[in-house]
Structure 1
Amino acid sequence: MRPLDRSRRRFLTLAAASAASLTAAGLDPAPASAASSEADRPDPDFGPNVFVYDPSTPTAEIQSTLDRLFAAQEHNEMGADRYAVLFKPGRYEVNARLGYYTTVAGLGRHPDDVDIHGAVRVVGQPDPNSPAGISALTNFWRSAENLSVTPTDWSNQWAVSQASPMRRVHIRGILWLEPGNGGYSSGGYIADSKVDGITINGSQQQWLTRDSELGGDWTNGVWNQVFSGVLGAPAQGFPNPPYTTLPTSPVTREKPYLFVDGDGAWRVAVPALRHDTVGTTWGAGAGATPSLSLDDFFIARPTDSAQKINQELSRGRHLLLTPGVYHLDRALRVKHPDTVVLGLGMPSLAPTTGDAAFRIEDVDGVRVAGVLVDAGPQESEVLVEVGKPNSHRSHATNPISLQDVFFRIGGPGVGRAVTSLVVNSRYTIIDNLWAWRGDHGNGIGWTSNTADTGVVVNGDDVIAYGLFVEHFQQWQTIWTGERGRTVFYQSELPYDPPSQGAWRSPTGRGWASYKVAGQVREHEAWGLGVYSYFNQGVDIRCDRAIEVPRRAGVRFHDMVTVFLDGSGGIERTINETGTPVVGSYGTSPVVSYP
């Protein structure tokens, strides 16, 4: 392939391993940014896997990079390469197809500052197990942010499953969420975005759209489509159609994002806390978003040690993680209030000694966004801890937030962790989180990638939007804090229990997916789906998908259980309510409980 035009790029010194990786992928292992339009403001050094473009860059050069990244990443599901392509304000005529671990983002203050004429899209993959021959069931770990797309085809396709968010995006036309021909898909998440045309849900089994605007119809649903604070959302209809519609989102704070200001300075926007929200943050009449200078951030590379990163955090610096895999011999410790930790290009944090990846003190305003966390072969008790046990400090006016944080136990390799996420701090906001005990990839097996629970919430007044928790070996999610709220929950039970005896909880056969502790007095959740696919050829039963104390203050809305395939199934949807979905395809919707 033709090398990138060196006359237009600023070169960086590369680590040998990164250079070898890029060369193997057919990419020039030198470019990192386009020339700055301000001679006295050179672009930051984000390393070799970040590509920054401005409108003066030849379209052919940009398209060549996008095509080569897609060729390298289209099937690189468990690989170590990570990339980000960033566009300064202007118009671009390109077709960006996103493979694994690829982020495409604009660098404007407003999404419309970057105008992509063409596409920013995700397409389906061949799937011999799908009647359509194509699916999006494993289209994970990619994102689009802070730009507008004017489709030059009939639509902009975004055929994704979990961990592939679209945030702060303006689609100036039709948005198509399935791979085509009815091929399977299992998404998905949109926030702070606007779609001018219709949105074709198609085969998407479930989806959360939060604080956005739909200019046309949402065409259909399958099992669990949730809309929270969305202008133009379809009316409440669960279970037929399967729409759960909340007029507003109770409390939100959008994800931080990079932008370049009018003077060419790089900054990180830190959106403010909002209550009872509806629509985007950037519509007509929206005020300026607070921001921080990128000079206040330590720009980390995968070659940096945990000790070095912790030294920078202890000095009160914010942290920007550039693309790659960070092998950590100790946890990264966030101790200062209002610290921002922002991942660029879906970096992975991989503990190597059985410690956590992150330990966050019980302080105000910490924001962690855009990172993967991969369990290592030495078992970790927890991968991310928010606050110490018995934290009681109120963070009502300035909460900790976790956004686009994705956990994996197995997949890239053998991994073990008792619990992925423990939240002890009050008022924490969880916004699009996927905790996944791997069902395919490397190091997969009942006694190999061991993991009890995905998410444990001990803090009071915690809210979760878009909680995806799958395949753990005991309860998927445990909630012990008071006044917790969940808006959208999706969970597959573990595929691989070898026997009923190996998968039995203190309350009966199997382990409920969503467990609210018996002492909890108040809890509320909307739009929950729990599915079974026991694939070991053994009749495995789960007595109930959701297990909660029966009292007036514990309220659940719009739940469904689904038998996907395999053997056995789920007997009840919530406590003793619902019908069995056992032995063959079926669903059991429950509109409200109690």
Structure 2
Amino acid sequence: MPLSSLHPVRARASRRQLGAAAAALAVLLAVFASAQGASAAPPPSGADLGPNVIVFTPDMPQSAIQAKVDAIAAQQVDSEMGTGRYALLFAPGTYGTPANPLRFQVGYYTEVAGLGASPDDVTINGSVDVYNRCFTDGSGCIALDNFWRSISNLHIAVAGGTGCQANTEFWAVSQAAPMRRMDITGGGVSLMDYCSAGPMYASGGFLADSKVAKTIVNGSQQQFYTRNSTIGGWSNAVWNQVFSGVQGAPAQSFPSPPYTTLPTTPASREKPYLVQGTAGLSVVVPPATTNSTGVSWSQAGSAGRTIPLSDFVVAKPGDSISRINAALAGGKNLLLTPGVYSIDRSIHVKRAGTVVLGLGLATLTAENGSTPLVIDDVPGVDVAGITVDAGPVNSDVLVQVGTKHQRGRGGSSAADPISLQDVFLRVGGPHAGKATVGVQVDSDHVLLDDLWLWRADHGAGVGWTQNTSDTGLVVNGDDVTATGLFVEHFQKYNVIWNGENGRTVFFQNELPYDAPNQAAWQHDGTLGYAAYKVADSVTTHELWGAGSYIYTNVDPTLHATRAFEAPVAPGVRLYDLTTVSLNKAGTIDHVVNDTGNAVTPSHQGPETVVEFSG
């Protein structure tokens, strides 16, 4: 089938039961234990980053590196709701050769990153892949659940592989699997795994600050966001492919094909990253930019400020939150090593310029209804690479950014904004969870870059009255910019934007699957709730490239009156909006307000609105 004709239907199983025979499990554990015994370098700083940060060096035997990465992949590739967390860090140098390439998979909760000042300081001849996940229940091989993993700061000279997999870097992922700060040369890059058994669906990813020499195969990726990169081309679109500040991006052509292309990114800040130097590890914090294009690491003066690891409190699961807060108040930054942290009181960031950096998708779990992370309205705070889980006792908010009474007191600014990158929230999934709001932004001048806020549709503790959560994101601050915003399945408005001068580049949403009936999912004479609500009082707001999909698998007759709601005002402009009805279940009557045709079980769409403005 030509790639241009791929229009897959997206639906995840409500629950995956993945078991293994005891003998197979014993073999896996034995292999993993053997690989754990392979020689691995200590952290180059001499700091104790815990057992799940593995640092590889070029002088290690390639067989030892291969054994370790393969064993971790074998443990993590099916561990969707598990507790294992890993950071695989590569010191500057070259790994593998074209004749003997280093090729390995990246499973759940695994971060792969280079430790160079530039991506080209660490070269892997081979590939670092995510393939389709093949289920033992006969439901096939898909990438729809390939979440919670990342790759960054590497040069991959693609090599090796046989047959269909030869000379290709596969990154077949969906939400919460960012690829950042990469230089990929040699072979091709595919965002779907067309080599495994069907149906081969993939649904949503994030690529930033990267160079890809050849044309990227989008394939079945239903939506994808690429920011501030240089690419050799893009193969095809499905529903909602968005580019901003990307050299080599396809031209604006929405809705046919559905490419949304902005020449620059209005506001952005690249994620902080670890670097190995002669004095040990440090963290580089890139500066904020406006109207930018292309990669940051080829431009003079792009590095930003450098913070030695000695200026961080290095936390491990089980550490006292009081100790962490005391260190933060005393001037330290926070490095969260891989693991799951029980948070019974807020980690509170009060000092300007504080960096909170998670390794290996470090996960903060709310206990007793806590708000795991609170950030005061102070400039320059950067929080990156963390997952935040709701707990069984309802939290009012999971991540709080500023407070209303702090605004206007010299806090976050356009020149030095509070920034959140690769921050992922879950309400249900790994365990029972409840939260009224996921992220609440009360500060002005905040950057939100690659957020996936998820009320779980499968896993543990899932159900209309079990993992309750009203809204994924509430923005009360002014001049807030979101680049790459994924918000799914919340029970009321998924996003409420109350602040002025808000901007979102790329939005992806699925409405809740599990409303039991229309009476449970309606308000004020309106059926359902819009995915993205711009408050009636707002006079200036912009949104580019947004998709909202409906799949009501409990009651397929449910309607949502509209997917997007916005006031009719000269400064409110929404561009390139898409709606789809999935799997013949659910109806969206209009795209935005009362504009746009319905998608229904018999007319699944997509339906589009190219421009909505006052």
TM-score (norm 2): 0.90
In the TM superposition, residue 288 of structure 1 has moved relative to its aligned partner by 4.1
1:156 aligns with 2:176: no
1:140 partnered with 2:147: yes
- Asked if 1:229 corresponds to 2:242, the answer is no
Gaps of 5+ in 1: 1-19
Q: Deviations over 1:451-471 (max 9, x none)?
A: 000000000000000100000
Number of the residue aligned with 2:478: 460
Q: Which of 90, 97, 108 lines up with 1:87 in the alignment? A: 90
SS at match of 1:62: helix
Aligned match for 1:480, one of 498, 502, 511: 498
3-state SS of paired residue (2:72)? helix
Is 1:130–1:184's contact at 8 Å kept on the other side of the alignment?
no
Q: Tell me the equivalent position of 1:61.
A: 64
Structure 2: runs of 5 or more not aligned: 1-25, 97-101, 160-165
- C-alpha deviation, 1:586, in angstroms: 1.7
Tell me the distance in 2 between the aligned counterparts of 1:491 and 1:528: 8
Q: For residues 68-83 of structure 1, what are the structure 2 equivalents within 5 Å? A: 68-83=71-86
Partner of 1:305: 320
1:430-480: CA deviation from partner (whole Å, max 9, x where unpaired):
000000000000000000000000000000000000100000000000000
State the shift of 1:271 in Å: 0.4
Q: Report SS of the residue matched to 1:164.
A: coil
- Secondary structure in 2 matching 1:187: coil
| Matched pairs, number | 567
Q: What SS does structure 2 have at the residue aligned with 1:519?
A: coil
Match for 1:34: what amino acid? A
Name the residue aligned to 1:4: none
Aligned 1:278-289 pairs, distance under 5 A: 278-283=293-298, 285=300, 287-289=302-304
Three-state SS of the structure 1 residue aligned to 2:71 is helix
- Match in the other structure for 2:306: 291
Superposition RMSD in Å: 1.9
Conserved in 2, the CA contact under 8 Å of 1:559 and 1:590?
yes
Change (3 A) 1:61 1:366: same
Deviations 1:282-331 (A, max 9, x none): 12646544211011000000120211211111111000000000001101
Match of 2:544, SS?
strand
Which residue of structure 2 aligns with residue 123 of structure 1?
131
Q: Is the 1:414–1:444 contact (alpha carbons within 8 Å) kept by the matching residues of 2? A: yes
- Partners of 2:444 and 2:31 lie apart in 1 by 45
Q: Describe the SS at the equivalent of 1:225.
A: strand
What code does the residue aligned with 2:215 have?
Answer: I
Task: Verify the 8 A CA contact 2:38 2:64 in the aligned structure 1.
Answer: no
Amino acid at match of 1:126: C
Relative distance call for 1:427 and 1:187 in structure 2 (3 A) is same
- Which of 339, 343, 350 is equivalent to 2:365? 350
Equivalent residues of 2:336, 2:359 under 8 A apart: yes
Kindly indicate whether structure 1 or structure 2 has the higher relative contact order, using CA contacts under 8 Å at least 6 residues apart. 2
Distance across 1 between alignment mates of 2:285 and 2:383: 11
Q: Runs ≥4 in structure 1, deviation > 6 angstroms?
A: 22-25, 128-131
Secondary structure of 1:311 counterpart: helix
Indicate how the Cα distance of structure 1 residues 31 and 387 shifts in structure 2: closer, same or farther if over 3 A, else same.
farther
1:398 aligned partner: 416
1:158-307 counterparts in 2 under 5 A? 158-172=171-185, 173-180=187-194, 183-214=200-231, 216-261=232-277, 263-283=278-298, 285=300, 287-307=302-322
Name the aligned partner's letter for residue 196 of structure 1.
A
1:262-287 deviation digits (Å, cap 9, x = unpaired):
x2421100001111100000126465
| Counterpart Cα distance in 2 of 1:105 and 1:43 | 18
**Match of 1:219, as an amino acid?**
S
Residue 40 of structure 2 contacts residue 60 of structure 2 at CA under 8 Å; is this kept in 1?
A: no
1:109 aligns with 2:126: no
Matched residues in 2 for 1:178 and 1:575: separation? 34
- The question of whether the paired residues in 1 share the 8 Å contact of 2:517 and 2:555 is answered with no
State the Cα distance separating 1:111 from its structure 2 match. Answer: 0.1
| Paired residue secondary structure (1:518) | coil
Does the CA-based 8 Å contact 1:187-1:206 persist in structure 2? yes
1:590 alignment partner in structure 2: 609
Residue 96 of structure 1 deviates from its aligned partner by: 2.3
Deviation string for 1:336-382 (max 9, x for gaps)? 00000000000100011101010110101100000000000000000
Question: CA 1:492–1:130 in 2, change beyond 3 Å: closer, same or farther?
Answer: farther
TM-score between the two structures when normalised by the length of structure 1: 0.93
1:412 equivalent in alignment to 2:415:
no
Q: Is the 8 A contact 1:534 1:565 kept in 2?
A: no
Contact 1:391/1:459 (8 A) holds in 2: no
Q: Is the 8 A contact 2:584 2:600 kept in 1?
A: no
> What letter is aligned with 1:109?
A
